[in-house]
Structure 1
Amino acid sequence: MRYFAVLGEELNYRRAAERLYITQPALSTAIKQLEHQLGVLLLRRNTREVALTELGAAWLPKVRKALRGIDSAVEDLIALSAQYRRIRLGYLIGTGADLVFRLVRHFESAHPEITVEPKEFDFSDPTAGLADGSTEVAIIRPPVDLPEHRMFILDAESWMACLPRDHHLAHRTELTTAELLDEPVVVAPSTAGRWRDYWMAMDARDGKPPTIAAVAATYEEETTTIARGLGISFTSEASARLYDRQGIVYVPITDRPPSYTALAWHPAGLSHEAAELVRHVREEWGFGEGQATERPATYY
């Protein structure tokens, strides 16, 4: 309809195409498709001139009015969206439970004009929406397959082994990684990529593949599977606090480097609101000396 309105004013395909920033053949095709769809002839054309038909001339003012209504509606939407400032914050299941709500309350208290919209993601997407752009900023557990993203560390935790309560190692007060490598392991979905390998302790296996007992996308699935005696998992202190249940025990693993929780984002194209959140957490949140150093999101 917009193409028709411009062509109806210019009555010249070259000038109309220039105004619309398209080619003349594209404009001609679009007008023919419109006429075919409506089942009417709107313009008469020959090698010398273009003219509106009687129907085209009668319809043109109505098209202009309709387009003004559309333009006005778009302008209204833009004005409304300017008043509705929001941040799409992702967090990995279990990861954000200790931090996300505290972070949201703290930030919204300092910036009441901005709404933070948290969204939880399971193990199938450890980037918590950063990979597909459904979130702008996310609380994650690195490493993740996002080499262009940046992050800084919010917290560090020790590794834990989650075992069936009747497992032969369940009575121990601590374990080493080597003692667990031959155990069947409950793992994240394959879409988790590098993050899945990290939580299978692949770096300690010397190329020997793990025995995969089951795949789980949530802590509920993981702990249920382990309680059934099907396998073990490598996990974090947070899961031991938040997902304790009958049938399982958690035992500290003493020789693994810390597992980190981090705030991650892509430095290009960050909205003003999301950039303000990153700045706020970095400069004002107070996670401890040296923790606000930026690192690649692939770091661990």
Structure 2
Amino acid sequence: MTLRQLRYFAVLGQELNYRRAAEKLFITQPALSTAIKQLEHQFGVLLFRRNTREVALTDLGAAWLPQVQQAISGVDAVVDNLVMLSGTRRGVLRVGYLIGTGADLLFRLVRHFEAAYPDVTVEPIEFDFSDPTAGLADGTTEVAIIRPPVDLPEHRMLMLDSESWVACLPRDHRLAGREEVTIAELLDDPIVCAPLTAGMWRDYWLAMDARGNRPPTIAAVAATYEAETTAIARGLGISFTTSSVARFYDRPGIVYVPIADRPPSHTALAWHPANVTPQADALVRLVQDQWNSGDPE
């Protein structure tokens, strides 16, 4: 039996849902199912009852769950104590963030972290659209606030917030007076987009999934919201963005209109589990505790 199996059991025992538990553990549902079955097989016990509609703890599983939770808490406390005693949580933590992404989140996280770890100096580093990984891809930062999707297949992410899509339009645009629009109504408009180095993030904000075989007409390339909104105010094209950007980057000559039929855009805290520093690990744990307790403030 491994500590990983115990963590898997504890999370599934709390969620009683394989999808939600797998998302919390950053693994696939089949991997979680296999690990639980292996744990049961090792001891010849049944911890969960499963059918097509629900997952439930057996009497044995329900009795064992609080003991496992207590054991995991004890292990985490011992590890935290070792790290604190060794002084490895002193030093500098470089936190990247994508321009205009989670600005209010960033300052809340930094404030809480600095209160909990006053010996760590936090250095927030802003990145423009040319690097939507906010420094994680090349190791400039240890942890970052980003807006997926980005090309970081080995990184883990903790979803912090979600927002609706909005269209940024010139004030004289034919749809500028609408209360909301659909994505199909705007796909033929010239669009202001991120540089090619943004990769899949660029394609996401070009709404490539909705275009089929119709390539976008690129009106201009912009690496910042200032450049993007300036191009749109000049009437060069439109762009797709989020509701928070509409609050922070309202400018003369542009208007924001909600897009009714797009899935939400997410803001996430991201890090590489194999290369995480003690300082970054401390921040990740602090944020996980806040979000799991339902108190992100």
Q: TM-score, normalised by structure 2?
A: 0.68
Question: Where does residue 148 of structure 1 map in the other structure?
Answer: 154
Distance 2:103 2:163 in 1: 14
Q: CA deviation at 1:265?
A: 0.4
Query: Residue 166 of structure 2 aligns to which amino acid in structure 1?
Result: M
Question: Where does residue 280 of structure 2 map in the other structure?
Answer: 274
| Distance change in 2, residues 1:177/1:83 (3 Å) | closer
Structure 2 residue runs without a partner (length 5+): 1-86
Question: Where does residue 60 of structure 1 map in the other structure?
Answer: none
Residue deviations 1:1-58, cap 9 Å, x none? xxxxxxxxxxxxxxxxxxxxxxxxxxxxxxxxxxxxxxxxxxxxxxxxxxxxxxxxxx
**Runs of 4+, deviation exceeding 6 Å:** none
Larger gyration radius, structure 1 or structure 2: 1
SS of residue paired to 1:99: helix
Residue deviations 1:30-87, cap 9 Å, x none? xxxxxxxxxxxxxxxxxxxxxxxxxxxxxxxxxxxxxxxxxxxxxxxxxxx9695111
SS of residue paired to 2:92: strand
| Percent identity for Structure 1 against Structure 2 | 72
Question: Where does residue 225 of structure 2 map in the other structure?
Answer: 219
Query: Residue 173 of structure 1 aligns to which amino acid in structure 2?
Result: E
Decide whether the 8 Å contact of 2:88 with 2:278 is kept in 1: no
Question: Where does residue 270 of structure 2 map in the other structure?
Answer: 264
Q: 1:254 aligns with which of 257, 260, 267?
A: 260
Q: 1:241 aligns with which of 235, 242, 247?
A: 247
Distance 2:283 2:89 in 1: 18
Q: CA deviation at 1:141?
A: 0.2
Decide whether the 8 Å contact of 2:170 with 2:234 is kept in 1: yes
Decide whether the 8 Å contact of 2:89 with 2:278 is kept in 1: no
Map 1:1-300 → 2, pairs under 5 A: 84-285=90-291, 288=294
| Distance change in 2, residues 1:287/1:154 (3 Å) | farther
Decide whether the 8 Å contact of 1:154 with 1:287 is kept in 2: no
Decide whether the 8 Å contact of 2:90 with 2:279 is kept in 1: no
Question: Where does residue 14 of structure 2 map in the other structure?
Answer: none
Q: CA deviation at 1:96?
A: 3.1
Distance 1:288 1:245 in 2: 35
| Alignment RMSD | 1.7
Question: Where does residue 28 of structure 1 map in the other structure?
Answer: none
Q: TM-score, normalised by structure 1?
A: 0.68
Decide whether the 8 Å contact of 1:155 with 1:287 is kept in 2: no
Distance 1:207 1:261 in 2: 29
SS of residue paired to 1:260: strand
Distance 1:82 1:267 in 2: 17
Q: CA deviation at 1:111?
A: 1.3
Question: Where does residue 61 of structure 1 map in the other structure?
Answer: none
Structure 1 residue runs without a partner (length 5+): 1-80, 292-300
The count of aligned residue pairs is: 210
Decide whether the 8 Å contact of 2:89 with 2:120 is kept in 1: no
Distance 2:217 2:244 in 1: 25
